[in-house]
Amino acid sequence: MEYRIEHDTMGEVKVPSDKYYGAQTERSRQNFQIGVNRENMPIEIINAFAILKKAAAVANNKLLPERMTNEKLNLISRVCDEITAGGLSENFPLVVWQTGSGTQSNMNVNEVIANRANELAGKKILHPNDDVNMSQSSNDTFPTAMHIAAVLEIENNLLPEIKNLIATFKKLELENPNIIKTGRTHLQDAAPLKFSQEISGWRNSLERGLEMILNATNFLRDLALGGTAVGTGLNAPKNFDVESAKAVSEITGTRFKTADNKFHALTSKSEFVFAHGAVKALACDMMKIANDVRWLASGPRCGIGEIIIPANEPGSSIMPGKVNPTQCEQVTMTATQIISNDTAVTIAASQGNFELNVFMPVSAYNFLQSVRLLANSIKSFNNNCAVGIKPDKNRMAENLNKSLMLVTCLNPVIGYENAAKVAKLAHSKNISLEAACCDELKFLSHDKFQEVVDPAKMV
């Protein structure tokens, strides 16, 4: 490999000649060789950095045109667009497990932008600190990148998949309006309900989860940019925070604003905890829905078997013909990972000391993994399972007719204690509720029993 010599304030460093990054990136690359397959800083963070660097240049050009000239702005903007298009991805080799402020990733982006821009210009016009990092600090850019990346990933990837699964459940509800089935509480038979009502519970869990995520995302729209080193805005011109947030909004096409209090924005990660909590809440509901589906599809002959789900793969290497609810299983495993990630995000947020939180990379890594996993999991579950759910009407009717909890509608007629006697006798003698009530206990005539015990009236 060929090298060139770069320098920083600590001296000279050999850097691969085919890369645009500089001395500080190479020092970090050598000093933090941590993680399986080098667990790199999420590309979502790199793209968010490119967005905020472009926005900062726009603001500096407006407020400090003598320093951020039109030529410099155009070069920075051009390279930032290259980064977000994925054209320079091999130039961001740093791992998550680095300094807790993310300083080295900030400098990685600064160096790449400066060196690539200088190549485009055919002259050395940009300095990574003096120009690309103008009016900024790693301490305000990394939390800004975290918020931008989180909002964009939620809006662009997670929300559409939630809406698609909601639409699938709405369709399933409309297709099955009048099927009555037995309900279940505590994994035991319970009062009946419509299959469409059961589905509506799943659908509304997703709708409420969507609402909570949208609400939580609003807090992530506050940007720390402009706080610089400790929140005072040192070395940033007046209104840089407002102008840079405005530029971020224009570049991304979604709303951002400057944080009201930069001291909070640099040291607190409460917004991240709150938003991840909303993501976790939906993951919990997805685990519940997936468990419901695999229970209801269990069997096919010796389980509940009230719904049929797509058979996607052979389920066993030894038992021929076995098919497993694999999409439900991936959902529950994904939810487990997201719930675990919440612990990391929570602990990281609790470790702000004085004017800075230095657990930001791990917080961003876990948050973005959770959003990515949940979006992909919901998409896979929807496309490979939910769209193919079908009710087994005969099995639902069979289980409904066997259910002892139809006895519940006898309460107003013969009283709770007598109704309990009917249910217990029917169960112990393995006879129908009607036989127990009318023939054995003689609480009601058969005509009266059939008038009262009507599942259609119970839903």
Annotated catalytic residue, options 17, 270, 316, 340? 316
Rounded Cα–Cα distance for residues 113 and 116 (Å): 5
Show Cβ contacts of residue 266 under 8 Å, excluding neighbours closer than 6 positions: 139, 140, 143, 224, 227, 230, 231, 355, 356, 357
Q: Which helix (H) or strand (E) holds 453?
A: none
316 included as an active-site residue: yes
Contact at 8 Å (CB) between 118 and 222?
no
Show Cβ contacts of residue 199 under 8 Å, excluding neighbours closer than 6 positions: 169, 172, 173, 176
Rounded Cα–Cα distance for residues 459 and 277 (Å): 34
Rounded Cα–Cα distance for residues 162 and 40 (Å): 28
DSSP codes of every residue in 189-221: EEEEEEHHHHHHHHHHHHHHHHHHHHHHHHHTT
Radius of gyration of the chain (CA): 30
147 included as an active-site residue: no
Rounded Cα–Cα distance for residues 438 and 447 (Å): 10
Rounded Cα–Cα distance for residues 213 and 219 (Å): 10
Angle between helices 240-252 and 43-63 (to 10 degrees): 130
Q: Which of 248, 275, 274 is nearest to 259 (CA)?
A: 248
Rounded to 5 degrees, what are φ and ψ at 10? Answer: -100, -5
Rounded Cα–Cα distance for residues 194 and 181 (Å): 6
* Calculated CA dihedral for residues 421, 424, 428, 429, nearest 10 degrees: 50
Rounded Cα–Cα distance for residues 196 and 412 (Å): 27
Rounded Cα–Cα distance for residues 110 and 97 (Å): 19
- List C-alpha distances in Å: 436 to 274, 401, 409, 431, 444: 54, 14, 15, 7, 10
Contact at 8 Å (CB) between 422 and 407?
yes
Q: Which of 269, 257, 156, 274 is nearest to 212 (CA)?
A: 274
Q: Are strands 3-8 and 257-258 parallel, antiparallel or unpaired?
A: unpaired
CA atoms within 13 A on the CB side of 324: 11
Structure token pair of residue 263: 């001291």
Enumerate the active-site residues.
186, 316
